[in-house]
C-alpha cells in the first residue's frame, strides 16, 4: 500500500494541527504493513521568526519515506500583508477610531488577498505534483483541510487522474471562515470541490461537510501520542495553566469571577495562586488578568516549544481550556485537550455559545474535569466554583491534586488506536 498525504500542517512545523497526520503516519508505518507514505507540504523556511519547528515531532520524520516541500516564493508578500494586518489589530482603540469608515474596505481587500493566496498555492502544488511526482504509484491520496488549498489540489488531481482514490480529511469546519450571507452558494462550492472524494473524514460528528448521498463520512478524532506522556508533578503553588491559542469568541470571565469570590470569602489565599499562560495570543489572555487585577499572580511564558508546554502541563494544579458550542459550530475536544488528557491533571473547560446541548459538558467528567457553560450560568457557575475550591483544598492539604477519570474512554484517543482505524478504512477504499 502506497499513500500520498497533502497537508500544510505536518512535521516539523510547530502547531497543534501538525500533530494529527504526523502521528497517524508514525503508527501506520510502525504497526501496519504500509509500503510507502510520502508527504507534500509547503516550504515554510522553518525556524525563522514566524515559523518554529517542533522538536518532539522531528523524531517522527523517519516514518515519512519522501518529504516534498513545495516552494511558493510569492507567499513572502502574502505573509508581509498578514503581518501588517496583525500589527493593525494590535494597535490601541484610540489609533483606530479615525479609521472605522475604511475598516470594511480593508476587511474585504484582506479577504480577497487570502482567497487569491489559496488559489496561488493550490496551482503551485498541483503543478509540482504533476511534473515531479508519479501520482499513479499511490493507492490513495489524502488531503487535510485547512486551509482550503489542500482541497483544491485534491479536486484538481481527481479530475486529472480518474483512477485515483481520494480521501478528504477535515480538522476544522469546512468553509467556516467565509461570509455566510449566501450559504447556498457556499454549500454548492463545497460540494463541487469535494464531489470526487471517495471518503470524507472529520474530527467530530458535528462538522458539516456538505457531502453527497454517495459519499462515505467517517469520524477520525485527533488524539495524543502515549510515548510523549510525562508523569504528573507536584506544584509548589496552586498553578492554573492555559497553554495554546485564545480566540476572541472564548469567554473566561467565569473562572476569574470564581477566583475573586473565593479569595474575598477567604477560602483561597491569593498568595497561593499562580495563573500562567503559554501561547501566541497572550494579549487576549492578559485582558482578563488586567480586568480582574491578577497581575501579581500572573506568569507569561509567551510562545514556548511543545516539549516545554507538556512540562508546564505536568506541573499544573488546574488546566484551563476554552471553547464554543453554537448553532454553526460545535467543538468537543480541542487539539490541546488531548495533551491535557495525557497530563492527568484536573481540567476546567469554559464553553461559550448559546447551545445548551453540549457533548463536552456531558463527557468532561470522563476526563476528570468540569465544564462551565455561559448559556447555563446559573447551573454551572456554582459547580465550577466548588470544583476549583475542592482542588485547591486538596493541594493545600497534600501538595497534590487528584482526579477520577475513565481510562477506557481516553484510550480511544491514543494515536495507535486512531491509526488502526485509519488502516482499516484504507483497506476498504
Tell me, what's the pLDDT at 76? Answer: 56
* Predicted confidence (pLDDT) at residue 26 exceeds the cutoff of 60: yes
Average pLDDT over residues 170-197: 75
Tell me, what's the pLDDT at 208? Answer: 83
Average pLDDT over residues 402-420: 95
Tell me, what's the pLDDT at 422? Answer: 97
Q: When comparing pLDDT for 154 and 172, which is higher?
A: 154
Residue 405: burial class (beta carbons within 10 Å; 0-12, 13-18, 19+): middle
* Predicted confidence (pLDDT) at residue 214 exceeds the cutoff of 80: yes
Tell me, what's the pLDDT at 281? Answer: 92
Record the pTM. 0.87
Q: When comparing pLDDT for 45 and 394, which is higher?
A: 394
* Predicted confidence (pLDDT) at residue 179 exceeds the cutoff of 80: no
3-state SS, residue 155: helix
* Predicted confidence (pLDDT) at residue 65 exceeds the cutoff of 60: yes
Residue 236: burial class (beta carbons within 10 Å; 0-12, 13-18, 19+): exposed
Alpha-carbon span 183 to 251, nearest angstrom: 27
Extended strands (E) in 272-414: 273-278, 298-302, 318-324, 347-352, 370-373
Cα–chain center distance at 291: 27
What mean pLDDT, rounded, does the chain reach? 88
Average pLDDT over residues 359-376: 94
Residue whose grid cell is 485537550: 337
Average pLDDT over residues 169-182: 70
Tell me, what's the pLDDT at 49? Answer: 55
Tell me, what's the pLDDT at 94? Answer: 44
Write the DSSP symbol of residue 51.
Answer: -
CA atoms within 13 A on the CB side of 73: 0
Q: When comparing pLDDT for 202 and 104, which is higher?
A: 202
Residue whose grid cell is 502541563: 313
Whole-number percent of the chain with pLDDT over 90? 68
Task: Report the residue count for the chain.
Answer: 429
3-state SS, residue 166: strand
Alpha-carbon span 381 to 374, nearest angstrom: 9
Q: When comparing pLDDT for 29 and 118, which is higher?
A: 29
Tell me, what's the pLDDT at 52? Answer: 80
3-state SS, residue 216: strand
The DSSP secondary structure of 41-79, one letter per residue, reads EE---SSSSS--B-HHHHTTGGG-SEEEEE--TTHHHHH
Tell me, what's the pLDDT at 77? Answer: 58
Q: When comparing pLDDT for 172 and 262, which is higher?
A: 262
* Predicted confidence (pLDDT) at residue 30 exceeds the cutoff of 90: yes
Alpha-carbon span 323 to 281, nearest angstrom: 15
Alpha-carbon span 89 to 411, nearest angstrom: 41
Whole-number percent of the chain with pLDDT over 70? 89
What is the tens place of the pLDDT at every residue in 277-328? 999 999 999 999 999 999 999 999 999 999 999 999 999 999 999 999 888 7
Amino acid at each position: 500500500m502506497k499513500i500520498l498525504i497533502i497537508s500544510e500542517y505536518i512535521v516539523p512545523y510547530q502547531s497543534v494541527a501538525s500533530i494529527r497526520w504526523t502521528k497517524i503516519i508514525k503508527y501506520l508505518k510502525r504497526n501496519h504493513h504500509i509500503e510507502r507514505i510520502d508527504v507534500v507540504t509547503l516550504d515554510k523556511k522553518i525556524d525563522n521568526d514566524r515559523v518554529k519547528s517542533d522538536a518532539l515531532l522531528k523524531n517522527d520524520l523517519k516514518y515519512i519515506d519522501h518529504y516534498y516541500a513545495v516552494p511558493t516564493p510569492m507567499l513572502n508578500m502574502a505573509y508581509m500583508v498578514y503581518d501588517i494586518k496583525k500589527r493593525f489589530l494590535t494597535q490601541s482603540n484610540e489609533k483606530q477610531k479615525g479609521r472605522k469608515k475604511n475598516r470594511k474596505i480593508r476587511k474585504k481587500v484582506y479577504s480577497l488577498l487570502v482567497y487569491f493566496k489559496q488559489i496561488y498555492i493550490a496551482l503551485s502544488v498541483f503543478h509540482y505534483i504533476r511534473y515531479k511526482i508519479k501520482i499513479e504509484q499511490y493507492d490513495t491520496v489524502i488531503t487535510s483541510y485547512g486551509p482550503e488549498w489542500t482541497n483544491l489540489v485534491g479536486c484538481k488531481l481527481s479530475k486529472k487522474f480518474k483512477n485515483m482514490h481520494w480521501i478528504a480529511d477535515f480538522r476544522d469546519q469546512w468553509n467556516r471562515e467565509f461570509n455566510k450571507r449566501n450559504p447556498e452558494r457556499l454549500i454548492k462550492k463545497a460540494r463541487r470541490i469535494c464531489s470526487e472524494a471517495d471518503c470524507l473524514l472529520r474530527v467530530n460528528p458535528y462538522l458539516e461537510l456538505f457531502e453527497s448521498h454517495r459519499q462515505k463520512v467517517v469520524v477520525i478524532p485527533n488524539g495524543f501520542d502515549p510515548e510523549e506522556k510525562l508523569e504528573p508533578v507536584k506544584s509548589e503553588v496552586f498553578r492554573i495553566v492555559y497553554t495554546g491559542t485564545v480566540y476572541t469568541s472564548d469567554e473566561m470571565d467565569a473562572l476569574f469571577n470564581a477566583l475573586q469570590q473565593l479569595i474575598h470569602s477567604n477560602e483561597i489565599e491569593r498568595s497561593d495562586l499562580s495563573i500562567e499562560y503559554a501561547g501566541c495570543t497572550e494579549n487576549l489572555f492578559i485582558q482578563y488578568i488586567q480586568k480582574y487585577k491578577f497581575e501579581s499572580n500572573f506568569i507569561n511564558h509567551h510562545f514556548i516549544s511543545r516539549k516545554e508546554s507538556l512540562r508546564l502541563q505536568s506541573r499544573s494544579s488546574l488546566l484551563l481550556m476554552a471553547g464554543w458550542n453554537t448553532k454553526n459550530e460545535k467543538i468537543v475536544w480541542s487539539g490541546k485537550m488531548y495533551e491535557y488528557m495525557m497530563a492527568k491533571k484536573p481540567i476546567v473547560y469554559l464553553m461559550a455559545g448559546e447551545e445548551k446541548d453540549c457533548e463536552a459538558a456531558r463527557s468532561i467528567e470522563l476526563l476528570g474535569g468540569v465544564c462551565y457553560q455561559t448559556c447555563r450560568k446559573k447551573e454551572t457557575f456554582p459547580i465550577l466554583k466548588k470544583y476549583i475550591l475542592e482542588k485547591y483544598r486538596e493541594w493545600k492539604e497534600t501538595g497534590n491534586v487528584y482526579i477520577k477519570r475513565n481510562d477506557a474512554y481516553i484510550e480511544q484517543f491514543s494515536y495507535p488506536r486512531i491509526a488502526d482505524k485509519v488502516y482499516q478504512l484504507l483497506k476498504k477504499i
